[in-house]
Amino acid sequence: MSAYAQSGLAGAPAGTRDHGISGAGIGLRLCHIDEVLRQRPPIPWMELLADNHLAEGGLTALHVEALASLYPLTLHCVGMNLAGTDPLDDDYLRRVLALRERSAAAWVSDHLCFTAVGGRRYHELLPFPYTDQSLRHVAARVHRIQEILGAPLVIENVSAYLRFSDSALGEAQFLSALCRDTDCRLLLDVNNVYVNAINHGEDAEAYLRALPFERVAEIHLAGFAPREDYLLDAHDRAVAAPVWDLYARVATRLSGVPTLIEWDNDIPPLPVLLAEADKVAAITEAPR
Amino acid sequence: MSALAEVQRRLAAALDEDNGPAVDHLLPLLAAGPGRSAAARLSIYRTSARRARERALEQIYPVCREILGPRCFAALAEDYVREFASHGADLNNEGARFPAHLAACIGQRPQLAALPYLPDLACLERDWHAAYYAADDPPFDPARLAALQAAGRAEAAVFRLSAALRLLASRFPVRAIWHSHHHGGRTDRITLGQGDRLVIRRAGPRPTVDAVDPPVHALLSAIADGHCLGELATRGLALEQLPQLIAQGYVVAIDDSAATRRHSA
């Protein structure tokens, strides 16, 4: 049994209501922090991009402290390099852990990807082949990260623009096996499922059927940008109609799982973001 | 090297170049798909990865960008991203060598010759950004110094500056230029003066940029370089300023391990 399991924290993300993380939240971006702290809008919960808030002092730390006193929070990372073959960045993980403690975040998530190789950071969610070897490799790193964080990691499916001929598993099968081997949880990004289905000619419903839904701790929704011959996971606009449709089908099977609106580029005024979150409630609370 | 490491190495190499052998080495590993070619899909990542770093530079160097203009800055940032790899997960630490990159470009591009102060201005912006994101300091503990004095080792004391403090010396009035741009002013009426000795430091929520006298700057620089108290005295530095620098929070600690190493050496 791992140290985090022995600590009694192993079930933390699954017990979402214990942490106040429920309903439709927003990804809080830097440009909205002052407005949120001033107006204190009734947002059920918010997610911080951990990498923007790692500073252990100054205004950044004051903001985290103030937000944590007002809202239930979660942390979303982009720098753990889960599938990377470079050594784990212990200093980065230490800072994430410190931020988790300062923010009382219910859980920490990152992406199924690699972000660095040979000491070079690419600041991009890069794909890798889904093989037995890579499964063992990622599982070992997830175990180590969970030991450091003292809690299960929540892992997000990504938009991938490349597929590898060596992949013996689909992403959903890979994530399912990873959950089995590490007791991690899932962050299901419905927009990413849709974008991948279109870009690779894959079946979104089959993807969803292969996921262990009981492991899903959080759902993400975001807007994609249509390009000439593909969809870009741009996070620069409202959620598209077909993604809402897919979400509505997911929500029937994931009742009570908190959902988050992400908007990272061309960020709109806060009321627009909150209105987008209201659409989540309209779907999840609609009579069935 | 494992198969996974080899795939990742090939993908990273293909991102580092626009065309050429690295892309050719990657392509056989990729599955065919509908729509655009694998090489074209690869360019999605290449563009996005570079843009992330360029955006970070825009946020760290807003005054330099304003002076250069968005297009010129974008070209310099693009060159920087191509030339220098990123080695940290935290994009707030991106671009540490951007001032040196600007200095090199000024020497190579005649259109930038009228902006000789730009690298020092970039240093100011880089240091302001670093101070903004630095950790808070614990308060100075006078008992540490008293203990060293009691042990007859006071001369070996090595002081530590605030983590949120940076020093900058420039022959240009970069502080006035920086302030002027923050307040929508003009830089063509700023006189050259005697140059700047600056302390960039965060005590409250945001850093301030303060001019200090040359003796204070020299003392702080020597402390930053790790000189012990005895060496500071030998160099004739303005040690009478030390209590004030401690009271102001510029000097925040005594590095016990350094003091012990020096005493035993």
Q: Tell me the pLDDT tens digit for each residue of A241-250.
A: 999 999 999 9
pLDDT at A288: 61
* Cross-chain Cβ contact A62/B205 below 8 Å: yes
Domain that holds residue B230: 135-265
Of A22-26, A91-95, B106-110, which range is least confident?
B106-110
Query: Partners of B253 in the beta sheet?
Result: B160
Q: How far is CA B170 from CA B167, B181, B206, in A?
A: 10, 18, 22
pLDDT at A8: 37
Q: Which of B8, B54, B200 to mutate to test the interface with A (most CBs of A within 10 A)?
A: B8
Q: What percentage of chain A reaches a pLDDT higher than 70? A: 93
Q: Which of helix, strand or coil describes residue B261?
A: helix
pLDDT at A7: 36
- Residue A13 clears pLDDT 80, i.e. is over it: no
pLDDT at B145: 86
Structural domain includes residue B142: yes
* Cross-chain Cβ contact A58/B31 below 8 Å: no
What is the pTM (predicted TM-score) of this model? 0.91
CATH number at A63 reads 3.20.20.150
- Give B-chain residues touching A119 at CB under 8 angstroms: 85, 87
- Residue A106 clears pLDDT 50, i.e. is over it: yes
The number of distinct structural domains making up chain A is: 1
Structural domain includes residue B195: yes
Among residues A121, A135, A129, the alpha carbon closest in space to that of A51 is found at: A121
Give the model confidence (pLDDT) of A248-276 as tens digits: 999 999 999 999 999 999 999 999 999 99
User: To the nearest whole angstrom, how far is the Cα of A89 from the nearest Cα of chain B?
Assistant: 8
* Cross-chain Cβ contact B133/A60 below 8 Å: yes
Instruction: Let me know: does B97 contact B159? Beta carbons within 8 Å.
Output: no
Residue A189 corresponds to which tokens in the numbers above? 């990004």
- Residue A53 clears pLDDT 70, i.e. is over it: yes
pLDDT at A286: 76
Structural domain includes residue B203: yes
Structural domain includes residue B85: no
Nearest to B31 among A83, A114, A163 (CB): A163
* Cross-chain Cβ contact B5/A117 below 8 Å: yes
pLDDT at B249: 94
pLDDT at B257: 67
pLDDT at A213: 96
* Cross-chain Cβ contact B45/A81 below 8 Å: no
Residue A216 corresponds to which tokens in the numbers above? 């899903």
Residue A123 corresponds to which tokens in the numbers above? 């600041």
Residues of chain B with pLDDT under 50: none
pLDDT at A287: 66
Main-chain phi, psi angles of A22, to 5 degrees: -155, 160
- Give B-chain residues touching A163 at CB under 8 angstroms: 30-31, 33
- Identity (one letter) of the amino acid at B236? G
pLDDT at A12: 45
Give the model confidence (pLDDT) of A136-165 as tens digits: 999 999 999 999 999 999 999 999 999 999
Q: How far is CA A210 from CA A82, A159, A170, A202, A255, in A?
A: 21, 17, 9, 13, 18
Give the model confidence (pLDDT) of A209-218 as tens digits: 999 999 999 9
Give the model confidence (pLDDT) of A189-240 as tens digits: 999 999 999 999 999 999 999 999 999 999 999 999 999 999 999 999 999 9
- Give A-chain residues touching B166 at CB under 8 angstroms: none
A179 sits in which H/E element: helix A171-182
The number of distinct structural domains making up chain B is: 1
- Mean pLDDT for chain A overall: 93
| Average pLDDT, integer, range A51-64 | 96
Residue B100 corresponds to which tokens in the numbers above? 């040196």
Report the C-alpha gap between A149 and A183 in whole angstroms: 14
Domain that holds residue A227: 3-284
| Average pLDDT, integer, range A58-84 | 97
Instruction: Let me know: does A88 contact A80? Beta carbons within 8 Å.
Output: yes
Left (φ > 0), alpha (ψ -120 to 50) or beta: where does A174 sit? alpha
ipTM of the complex: 0.91
Structural domain includes residue B129: no
* Cross-chain Cβ contact B8/A85 below 8 Å: yes
pLDDT at B50: 95
Higher pLDDT, residue A1 or B98? B98
B203 reaches A (C-beta below 8 A) = no
User: To the nearest whole angstrom, how far is the Cα of A273 from the nearest Cα of chain B?
Assistant: 22
Name the B residues in 84-103 with CB < 8 Å from any A CB. Answer: 85-92
pLDDT at B188: 62
pLDDT at B263: 54
B220 sits in which H/E element: helix B214-224
* Cross-chain Cβ contact B91/A201 below 8 Å: no
Structural domain includes residue B22: no
